[in-house]
Homo-oligomer: A and B are copies of this chain.
Amino acid sequence: MEKRAKHPVRTTEKSLTLIDELNRRGGARITTLADELSMGKSAIHNHLSTLEEHGFVVKNGNTYELSLRFLDIGGQLRSEMDVYRVAEPQVEALAEESGELVHFVVEEGGEGVYLCRSKGDRAVDLDTYVGCRHPMHSSAFGKAILSHLPDQRVEEIIDRHGLPSVTPKTITSRDELYDALERTRERGFAVDDEERLEGLRCIAAPIRFDSEVIGAISISAPTARIDDDWEENEFVEQLCRTANVIELNKYKV
């Protein structure tokens, strides 16, 4: 259900395309961008100097880069979310207790967005970063969240993003996904058994408030350290207890 703007502002779209391209390349020169995007040099120059004047772009020599203004805005958005403030210390505590990699994730636009990340002392070093996005169907946190969204939302999300496969075990059909969500609801937590990265298992618990999901917390570890007899798993208790603490603390805010 991609929404198309009826009257898109083409000039703004050009600026946003430049931002995307700078983001992708980690900075670029005017000529490079002109070649790549087949726009005139003067146009690019005008856009970039406008973005620079407003602090969204910085110029190092002749290379333009996105500025930390994005981190400012993003950080502000995050710090204003009640659930983040409550979850952040708990994520750290769980990372320390479990020794593994712990994330806190919320959903936006049908994708999962990592808001917190904390590494325990033997944690694997995934290439996630605060703010990065990941599809819902191929992750434990995604299934934890989806399992408490109305079916209609789930459909919208699938329609929008599809069910792209990233490993041989990724769920790629609607039926499989709905089965997995059903099992997640029964168990109270979601699992990802190498569906997102081979050699990696994750478990995730939803964070609910007033019977609405507002995020999920997850533990990621090598297959060797997470037993796939889920009910017996030592991390499950730690995870669910932490999720519960976050839910309860949320009431105090």
A residues sitting closer than 8 Å to B (CB atoms) are 2-9, 11-16, 19-20, 23, 26, 42, 45-47, 49-56, 58, 66-80, 106, 108-109, 113, 115, 129-133
Q: A12 CA to B15 CA in the complex, in Å?
A: 7
A187 CA to B239 CA in the complex, in Å? 47
A65 nearest CB neighbor, chain B only: B77
Bound-state Cα–Cα, A15 to B54, Å: 11
Q: Are B113 and A71 in contact (CB under 8 A)?
A: yes
Report which of B12, B106, B132 forms a contact with A50, defined as CB distance below 8 A.
B12
Cβ contact of A130, chosen from B8, B71, B108, B133, cutoff 8 A: B71
Say yes or no: A74 contacts B76, CB within 8 Å. no
Contact A53 B5 (CB under 8 A): yes
B9 touches A46 (CB 8 A): yes
Known: A68-B113, A71-B113, A77-B66. A9 touches B15 (CB 8 A): yes
- Shortest beta-carbon distance, A5 to chain B, in Å? 4
Which residue in B9, B14, B113 is a CB contact (below 8 Å) of A47? Answer: B9
Cβ contact within 8 Å between B131 and A75:
yes
- Tell me which residues across on chain B come within 8 A of A69, comparing CB atoms: 74
A82: shortest Cβ distance to chain B, in Å?
13
State whether A77 and B71 are in contact (beta carbons under 8 Å apart), knowing that A49-B3, A52-B3 are contacts in the complex.
yes
- Interface pair A46/B7, CB less than 8 Å apart: yes
Contact A70/B68 with A54-B16, A129-B79 known, Cβ cut-off 8 Å: no
What is the chain B residue whose CB lies nearest that of A26?
Answer: B80
A3 touches B53 (CB 8 A): yes
Distance from A48 Cβ to chain B, minimum over Cβ atoms (Å): 9
Q: Check B9 against A50 for contact (C-beta < 8 Å).
A: yes
Contact A76 B129 (CB under 8 A): yes
Chain B residues in 8 Å Cβ range of A74 = 68-75, 131
A76/B23 in contact, CB under 8 A: yes
Which residues from B are CB-within-8-Å of A13?
50, 54
Cβ-closest chain B residue relative to A8: B50
Minimum CB–CB distance from A126 to chain B (whole Å) comes to 12
Contact: A68 with B75, CB < 8 Å?
no
| Closest CB in chain B relative to A49 CB, distance in Å | 4
Contact of A73 with B72 at beta-carbon distance under 8 Å, contacts A47-B9, A109-B58 already known:
no
